[in-house]
Amino acid sequence: MKNAIGTVFKFGDNVDTDVIIPARYLNSSDPAELATHCMEDIDKDFVKNVKKGDIIVATKNFGCGSSREHAPIAIKAAGVSCVIAETFARIFYRNSINIGLPIVECPEAAKGIDAGDQVEVNFDTGVITNLTKGTTFQGQAFPEFMQKIIAAEGLVNYINAK
Amino acid sequence: MGMTMTQKILAHAAGLDKVVAGQLIEANLDLVLGNDITSPVAIKEMDKMKVNGVFDKDKIALVPDHFVPNKDIKSAEHCKCVREFARRNEITNYFEVGEMGIEHALLPERGLTVAGDVIIGADSHTCTYGALGAFSTGVGSTDMAAGMATGKAWFKVPSAIKFILTGKPSKWVSGKDVILHIIGMIGVDGALYKSMEFVGDGIANLSMDDRFTIANMAIEAGGKNGIFPVDALAEQYMKEHSTRKYTIYEADEDAVYDETYTIDLSTLRPTVAFPHLPENTHTIDEIHEMDDIVIDQVVIGSCTNGRLDDLRCAAEILKGRKVKKGIRCIVIPATQKIYLQAMEEGLLRTFIEAGAVVSTPTCGPCLGGYMGILAEGERCVSTTNRNFVGRMGHVTSEIYLASPAVAAASAITGKISCPCEL
């Protein structure tokens, strides 16, 4: 899998799927449309500022609340290449893998990375490098089957390709 | 080393004699659930899979409930997508407006969920059926699609937290107060990835509706599932509602738990979760010490608290009283059956005479869909399950989560109140 490299948007604890994509927009399931409202209720300028390849870093329990797969879909469609957090809510974790959004649990990285830092993530080794601060962190590397799911852009393509 | 209730159910569904926490297993599914928001995404994914239809047309439940009756054209298109999929695949348990209800109140009522089942649902509150001794958990749309196609899902076997409930709750304390108390105690990620297993002689003092409410909100503590042992009351419920055979699993005596908490239900007080997390709990006594929390709206309903016990409790308080002028009180029976029963018992008359509005079953306001959206800065006391930023409307609006008793009392006084103050 190719490394992710991008500028960091930083969030705190318990970012819930209602702020990632408010339910008032769930009358659509179109990724491009969902992306235009991504993170709207927590950072209304996020969509304006995010560039393709950028990285979200958050502290604990990222993606808690509703099971809406629209949340990782919106993040991915907004151009985000990876989400790093101290911990993820379990349904969000599963959904992200299933739709091919790379996510990495790493408490140290979540603490040692600030908004605006340039960060690189190596998915083969789990190594996260803060290029701005010159620090590295060891995140959990994906097992091979999860890497394949993400590389196939999601579970369905992965199953079909088998 | 023994197994927990959850581990035993999962072992059986995976065809294994034994499982341990952390083990990855593939389990056979007894039911796969979706609603009008999550199913269209799942259907789109399933269409991409090289499969011939669903694994079992009797083991899929499709319940349009979030934005129905259709709130706008886009929602109508989603519902149409689900309806056509159900027709094309001859899904037995598709519930149209008129026979539907909020999914987690509807499925047990229809006898589709029983003890020993393994259930996944593309809705986070799928954990509700643990009240009947089933393993049930929320998943996303892609997992739902794979479940509908194959009848299987992979799981990491969870470890568990044990909650020993003792004693009898006092008059205005219900299942909602029990679960809010627990979430306040362990936090919104206190049970992350884990089972919450409820045991103890206090369970005998909780009605089935109380237990559904408690299991329903396991997800608000991050739990994978919440589960109760099957006692005589649960068996009676299943016999009344289902013709399906059920299997009772009990935790081994030497089952291992990450943590154990003992909670004396008689010491609990009406509890309210303040904005913007379900863990921000305060007892009614603490609230009495604060300045009045003046409100604009009350919602009584949802998959958490829209059942008959909940409506009876709210009606008992609203009977002969009036919703305070300027306050909107919205009551939403969770299913058509509950609606009808509430009508026959005269509860609907009580609500309407008190000045509340009664809606057809819908998730509507709980997730800020429709039927009670909040304006800028407005405050709502709600019997729903989440009080996140913007959940019920404007990003500056506020939700206070409470029991039907506190919600009804607050509708009368216009501020957060206990029925004991009336």
pLDDT of residue B1: 85
Please choose, from the candidates B399, B212, B402, B384, the residue with its C-alpha nearest in 3D space to the C-alpha of residue B317: B402
Distance between CA atoms of residues B341 and B6, nearest Å: 34
Concatenated DSSP letters for B181-226? HHHHHH-TTTTTT-EEEEESGGGGGS-HHHHHHHHHGGGGGT-SEE
Whether A32 contacts chain B with CB within 8 A: no
Residue B179 placed within a domain: no
- β-strands B379-382, B398-401: how paired? parallel
Q: How far is CA B349 from the centre of its chain?
A: 26
**Does one domain contain both B287 and B243?**
no
Under the banding of pLDDT at 50, 70 and 90, the label for residue A157 is confident
Contact B37, B67 (CB under 8 A): yes
Is residue A147 scored above 90 in pLDDT? no
**Domain harbouring B26, CATH code:** 3.30.499.10
How confident is the prediction for chain A on average, in pLDDT? Answer: 94
Using the structure block, give the residue that is written with the tokens 């909670």: B263
Distance between CA atoms of residues B412 and B83, nearest Å: 41
Residue B186 placed within a domain: no
Distance between CA atoms of residues B352 and B52, nearest Å: 50
Q: Which residues of A touch B142 (CB under 8 A)?
A: 69, 95, 98-99, 154-156
**Does one domain contain both B329 and B405?**
yes
Residue B263 placed within a domain: no
**Does one domain contain both B242 and B306?**
no
pLDDT of residue B246: 98
Chain B interface, Cβ < 8 Å to A = 37-38, 40-41, 44-45, 48-50, 66-67, 71-72, 74-75, 78, 122-124, 126, 138-143, 145-146, 188-189, 192-193, 219, 222, 224, 277, 367-369, 386, 388-391, 395
pLDDT tens figures, A78-134: 999 999 999 999 999 999 999 999 999 999 999 999 999 999 999 989 999 999 999
pLDDT of residue A146: 78
Exposure of B340 in the CB half-sphere (CA atoms within 13 A): 7
pLDDT of residue B385: 98
For the residues A11-20, what does the mean pLDDT come to?
A: 98
Flag residues of chain B having pLDDT under 70: none
Q: Which domain holds residue B238?
A: 5-158+200-213+228-247
Whether A37 contacts chain B with CB within 8 A: no
pTM reported for the whole predicted model: 0.97
Residue B163 placed within a domain: no
Name the closest residue on chain B to residue A43, using Cα atoms. B395
CB burial readout B374-399, b (16+ within 10 A) else e: beeebbbbbbbbbbbbbbbbbeebbb
Q: Would you call A29 and B139 a contact, using CB atoms and an 8 Å cutoff?
A: no
Residue B195 placed within a domain: no
Q: Provide ipTM, 2 decimals.
A: 0.94
Q: Which residue out of B141, B224, B304, B386 would a mutagenesis test of the A interface target, given it has the greatest number of A Cβ atoms within 10 Å?
A: B141
Q: How many domains does chain B have?
A: 2
In this complex, how many residue pairs, one in chain A and one in chain B, have their CB atoms less than 8 Å apart?
126
Q: Which residues of A touch B369 (CB under 8 A)?
A: 23-24, 26
Is residue A49 scored above 80 in pLDDT? yes
Q: How far is B76 from chain A, CA to nearest CA, in Å?
A: 9
Please choose, from the candidates B152, B122, B121, the residue with its C-alpha nearest in 3D space to the C-alpha of residue B54: B152
Contact B308, B105 (CB under 8 A): no
Q: Would you call A65 and B139 a contact, using CB atoms and an 8 Å cutoff?
A: no
- A154 token code pair: 């999601």
**Does one domain contain both B120 and B240?**
yes
pLDDT tens figures, A89-104: 999 999 999 999 999 9
**Does one domain contain both B327 and B235?**
no
pLDDT tens figures, B330-343: 999 999 999 999 99
Residue B370 placed within a domain: yes
Residue B188 placed within a domain: no
Is residue A24 scored above 80 in pLDDT? yes
In this structure, what DSSP letter does residue B128 have? G
Is residue A162 scored above 80 in pLDDT? no
